[in-house]
Amino acid sequence: MEKLLKRLIEKNKHMARHGKVASYIPVLGKASPNDIGICIMDMDGNIYGSGNYRNKFTLQSISKVMALILALLDRGEEEVFSKVGMKPTTEAFNSLYRMDLPDKWIPSNPMLNSGAIITTSLIKGKGREKSDRILELIRDITSNFNIDYEEETYRSEKKTADRNRAIAYLLRDMNLLDGNVEEVLDAYFRQCSIEVDCVDLARIGLFFANKCKSYNIERGEHMATLAVTIMSLCGMYGFSGEYAVKVGVPSKSGVSGGILGVVPNRFGIGVYGPALDRYGNSIVGCKIMEELSKELNLNIFE
Ligand code: GLN
């Protein structure tokens, strides 16, 4: 397995030059575009890694999956999905599309920033308590109690978050966001700044692959099904459809270059490669996932 991972990295790493490291959050711009790492964990807990798989990076949008789970546990499906939809879209992750039209609109899904800011607002607790609960859940899932916020990224995003601020204030104006807007945004920036490596991501993937079993999560199997379904429909933004056809592994990307992959009943996968394609997904990561899926028959639709 490690040989295979190494070969896929060697074969595809040249693609990084066609991508670009995110720089709209200034600290993210410091990442090296040529870094690439991958880790796979199987149901027996065997861990296989290659490349820069122990590099640390922030979760960014991958945290939206955990925020969704907590919002669902705290508020129930009916309330959550009355404020955020379950529709795949081709909108950019930070889109404000349709937010100022007179018709009744809710964000298409909880993987877009607009939808995710709502799910974070629905998590019980005030301000930082919300993101602390996400952090606790991640520490619990990974059994890694060293996982923490990366303060510089948190501050960097908070300082340059005009778009997310605009989204959140519009959401409040539309009666979709309760509570103090700045407090909700602060929790959202904090959850995005949680720092992991590919092993942690693979463990999170395995948690969903294993249907949340052996964790004290209410209706865990159902929660895993919901999260995995939403990931396969919307996890890679406008590329989700193509990714489902080419890769067929429910995944969630983050703008720091991470990809969380879930192969139900088989594997958890963590990939890191900070050079991004135009959708904001790791360009080398997507290609490696495509080839890995073929090599190991991971496509869930096959
Ligand atoms: N923190 C990022 C933002 O809100 C997350 C986006 C992403 O990872 N695609 O802009």
Same domain, 224 and 244: yes
Domain count across the chain:
2
* Contact predicate 71/124, CB 8 Å: no
Last residue of a domain, one of 131, 161, 194: 194
Are 186 and 200 members of one domain?
A: no
Residue keyed to tokens 């050079």: 275
The residue with tokens 């300082």 is: 159
> pLDDT digits over 39-88, tens only?
999 999 999 999 999 999 999 999 999 999 999 999 999 999 999 999 99
For residue 113, the ligand 1 atom closest to its alpha carbon is 4
297 CA distance to ligand 1 middle (Å): 31
> Residue 74: what pLDDT?
96
d(CA 262, CA 210): 9
> 3-22, pLDDT tens digit by residue?
999 999 999 999 999 999 99
Residue with tokens 């007179």: 102
Domain that holds residue 135: 61-194
Both 88 and 188 in a single domain?
A: yes
Same domain membership, residue 105 and residue 44? no
Which sequence positions are flagged as catalytic? Answer: 61, 64, 188, 237, 255
301, part of any domain: no
Residue where a domain stops, chosen among 194, 222, 243? 194
How far apart are the CA of 193 and the centre of ligand 1, in A?
Answer: 10
Decide if 9 contacts 36 (C-beta within 8 A). Answer: yes
- Which residues make beta-bridge pairs with 251? 261
Is the separation of the CB atoms in 171 and 118 below 8 Å? yes
Q: Which residues line ligand 1 (CB under 6 A)?
A: 60-61, 93-94, 113, 157, 164, 192, 254-255, 280
Q: What is the pLDDT of residues 139-197, one digit of tens each?
A: 999 999 999 999 999 999 999 999 999 999 999 999 999 899 999 999 999 999 999 99
Regarding whether 101 and 164 lie in a shared domain, the answer is yes
Mean pLDDT score, 256-283: 98
Question: pTM score > 0.85 for this model?
Answer: yes
